[in-house]
A and B are shown apart, each in its own frame.
Chain A
C-alpha cells in the first residue's frame, strides 16, 4: 500500500509536526494572536502533490521491477504460458471478456460492500454493548472470540447448504470474517476515553447518550477506522471464499472456472480484479478516515497504516 513517508518535504505552512508545536507564544497572549492559526486547514496543493509523489515512487519502482520480471519470464517462456501468461495475453483476455468480467466483479463487489457495512454496524454495536455493560461483556466476548476462532473457510460449505448458492452465504461469510477487527478496534477505541473527560462529563450533568455522542464515539474513531481498514480487506476474502464453495457468478466462481480450463490469462485477469476491489475499498475507507479524523495525529504526520 502507498505509504505516506515521513514527510520532510512538508510545505511551509505546516504547523503540525511534533517539535514545532509552539508557534503560539505564551508571552504575551495579545501579541501571540498575530500568529495566525486561521491559516491552518491544509498544506497547499502543490506541496501535497510533491508529498504524494515522494510517497509513491518507491512502491511504484518495486511494482515496475516485478512487472518487468514477470514480462521477461513469461515472454521468454521460462515458464509455460499455460502456467504463467504474458502481460499481453492477460490484457487481451481483459479486453475481450470485459463485460463478462465486469458483471462478475460487480457481484463480488456487491457482496463485499454489503458484508462490510453489516460487519461495521454489527461490530460497532457489539463493541458498544461490551464497553457499556460488564454483564453483557462477560456474555458476549466469549461468543465473539469463539466465532473468530472457527475457521470461516470450514463453515463455508455449511452456509451454502443453509442459504443456497445465492448472494446470502457470501455476505454472511464476509460479515463473519470482517466482524472481529471491528469489534476489537471499537472496544479499544471506546475504552481509550480519557477518564478525566468522563469525570468532566459527569459534572456537566450529561447523560450517557450525550457522553457517547460528543466524547466517547469521536474519541474512538482513530482506533475504529484502523479496524475498518482491516475489515474491508477481509470482507473481500469472505466474499471470494463463499464463491469458491458454491456459486454461479462472482470473481471466485470465475477463478474456479479459469482454473478448470487451465486458462491462466483469465485467472490472472480475475486475480487483478479481486485485488483491485480490495485496493479501491481500502482507499475509500482511507478517504473516509481523512475526512472524519483530520485532527488525529496519524492523519497529521502520515503513516496511515499503523493502528493508532
Chain B
C-alpha cells in the first residue's frame, strides 16, 4: 500500500547513472548504460526505444526485480534494494491466472498482500466498472479477448492504489483500434487517480499521446538520448490529438531520432 513516508520533495522515481550488465558464462550484455531519470509524483513519463534497448530491464530495476550493476535507484525517496511493493506492474502479456475468473484475478493482488477482503472487493468492483469489465466478472481469461485480458491486468495492478504504476509495453500485443481505446482509458484513469506512471513502449504515437514527457532511448546499450516535454493538456483525445500540430511535430522529431527502427 502507499505509505506516507515520502515527502513532497521526493521524486516518485529517481535513477542516477544506472548501468545494467547481464553476465552469463559465454556472453556479457550491457542492457542499459548511464541512465538518469527523475519522475515527479503525478507525472506520466513514457519511454520509447527500439526493441532490445533495455526498456524492460529499466522497469525491472525500478521494481527491484533486477539489481543495478552500478548507479542508484530510488522509489518514493527510498533506495530500491529488493522487490518493491509500492508499485503496480503491467506487462506486455496479461499474465493472468487461467483458472481464476476476472474478479478473482484482480483480487489476487489483495490475497497476496493480505489486504482487507471487503475493502479489496469493493475496490475491485469499482475498477471493473471503470474499465468496462462489468458483466465479465465471472468469465475466465480464455473467454476474453486480448484487450479485455489486458484490462484485467490493469485492474489488478491498480487494486492496491499504488503510488507508482510501471507498464511494460502494455498494449503492444493489441490491434491498433483496441490500443487507442485502452490508451484513452488509461489517460482517464491516470487523471482520475493521480498515480505516477512510467510506461515503456515502442510506439511513438502512444508515447506522445499518453506522456507528459517522452524519453527516447538509443539502441542497446540503451541510454536516454533526449527528453521531450509534451505541452499538450493532460486530457487527451485521439481524434483531436491526431490533428494537433504539436503532436505531429513531436512525433516527427522522435521518429527522426529513432530512425526507421520504430513503428507507428
Q: Which A residues lie at the B interface, using CB under 8 A?
A: 15-16, 21-30, 32-38, 40, 194, 196-197, 199-206, 210-211, 214-215, 218-219, 293, 295-297, 300
Interface residues of B in 38-69 (CB under 8 A from A): 60, 63-65
Which size bracket describes the interface of B in this complex? 35 or more
- B157 to chain A: closest CB distance in Å? 9
Segment with Cβ contacts to A, from B139-147, B196-204, B219-227, B250-258: B139-147
Instruction: Tell yes or no: B113 within 8 A of A by CB.
Output: yes
The proximity string for B residues 133-170 relative to A, scoring 1 for CB distances below 8 Å and 0 otherwise, is 11110111011110110010000000000000000000
B112 touches A16 (CB 8 A): no
| Known contacts A30-B132, A194-B95, A200-B89: A205-B60 contact under CB 8 Å | no
The minimal Cβ–Cβ distance linking A248 to chain B, given in whole angstroms, is: 47
User: Which residues on A sit within 8 Å (CB–CB) of B142?
Assistant: 16, 21, 295, 297, 300
Query: How long is the Cα–Cα vector from A218 to B131 in the complex, in angstroms?
Result: 27
Can you show 10 pairs from A to B with CB atoms below 8 A apart? A15-B143, A16-B142, A23-B143, A29-B133, A30-B134, A34-B135, A200-B95, A203-B87, A295-B98, A295-B140
Query: Closest CB of chain A to B143's CB: distance in Å?
Result: 6
* A213, chain B: closest CB distance, angstroms: 10
| New A-B contacts (17) at CB < 8 Å, excluding given A40-B140, A205-B112, A214-B111 | A21-B143, A24-B143, A26-B178, A29-B132, A29-B134, A34-B135, A196-B95, A199-B83, A201-B112, A202-B64, A202-B83, A203-B85, A204-B85, A204-B113, A205-B83, A214-B112, A300-B142
B65 near A21 with CB under 8 A, answer: no
Instruction: Tell me the minimal C-beta distance from B70 to chain A in angstroms.
Output: 22
* A26-B147, A26-B181, A200-B95 as given contacts; A38 in contact with B132, CB under 8 Å: no
Assembly CA distance A15 to B145 (angstroms): 12
Instruction: Report yes or no: A218 in contact with B99, Cβ–Cβ below 8 A.
Output: yes
**Bound CA span A29–B149, Å:** 13
Given A21-B142, A29-B133, A33-B134, answer yes or no on A203-B65 (Cβ-Cβ < 8 Å): yes
Residues of A within 8 A of B143 (CB): 15-16, 21, 23-24, 37, 40
Chain B residues contacting A36 (CB-CB under 8 Å) are: 135
Q: Which of A34, A210, A295, A296 contacts B112 (CB 8 A)?
A: A210
Query: Quick check: is B108 within 8 A (CB to CB) of the other chain?
Result: yes
Report whether A196 and B135 are in contact in the complex, using a CB–CB cutoff of 8 Å. Answer: no
Instruction: Give the distance in Å from the alpha carbon of A33 to the alpha carbon of B93 in the complex.
Output: 23
Confirm or deny: B97 has a beta carbon within 8 angstroms of a beta carbon on chain A. yes
Pairwise interchain contact B84-A203, C-beta atoms closer than 8 A: yes
Q: Would A26 and B177 count as touching, CB distance under 8 A?
A: yes
- Of A16, A24, A200, A201, the most chain B CB neighbours within 10 A belong to A200
CB–CB B112/A27 < 8 A = no
* Nearest chain B residue, comparing its CB with the CB of A204: B112
Closest to A38 in B: B138
Q: In the complex, how many angstroms separate the beta carbon of A244 from the nearest chain B beta carbon? A: 42
Determine the residue in chain B with the shortest Cβ distance to A36. B135
- Knowing A21-B145, A23-B143, say if A37 contacts B138 (CB, 8 Å): yes
B247 within 8 A of A: no
Within the assembled complex, what's the spacing in Å between the Cα atoms of A28 and B83?
37
**Closest 7 A-B residue pairs measured CB to CB?**
A29-B132, A33-B135, A37-B139, A202-B83, A204-B112, A206-B112, A295-B99
Q: A residues within 8 A CB of B113?
A: 204-206
Tell me the complex Cα distance, A40–B139, Å: 8
Contacts of B30 in A (CB 8 A): none
CB distance from B88 to the nearest CB of A (A): 8
Chain A residue at minimal CB-CB distance from B174: A26
Inside 8 A of B135's CB, which chain A residues have their CB?
A: 32-38
B187 on the interface (CB 8 Å rule)?
Answer: no
- Neighbouring B residues of A32 by C-beta, 8 Å: 132, 135
- Could you give, for residues 99-123 of chain B, a 1 whenever the CB lies within 8 Å of some chain A CB and a 0 otherwise? 1000000001101110000000000
Expressed in whole angstroms, the Cα–Cα distance for A211 and B145 within the complex equals 26
Of B93, B133, B177, which one neighbours A196 at CB under 8 angstroms? Answer: B93
Which residues of chain A are near B178, meaning CB under 8 Å?
Answer: 26-27
Say if the beta carbon of B91 comes within 8 Å of chain A.
yes
Bound: A292/B135 CA distance, A: 25
Given A26-B177, A194-B95, A218-B99, check contact A203 B83 (CB 8 Å).
Answer: yes
Taking a contact as CB atoms under 8 Å apart, the answer to whether B65 and A202 are in contact is yes
Q: How far is the CA of A231 from the CA of B28 in the complex (A)?
A: 43
Q: A150–B41 Cα gap in the complex (Å)? A: 64
CA distance A21 to B145 in the complex (A): 7
Contacts of A25 in B (CB 8 A): 145
Minimum distance in angstroms from A206 CB to a CB of chain B? 4
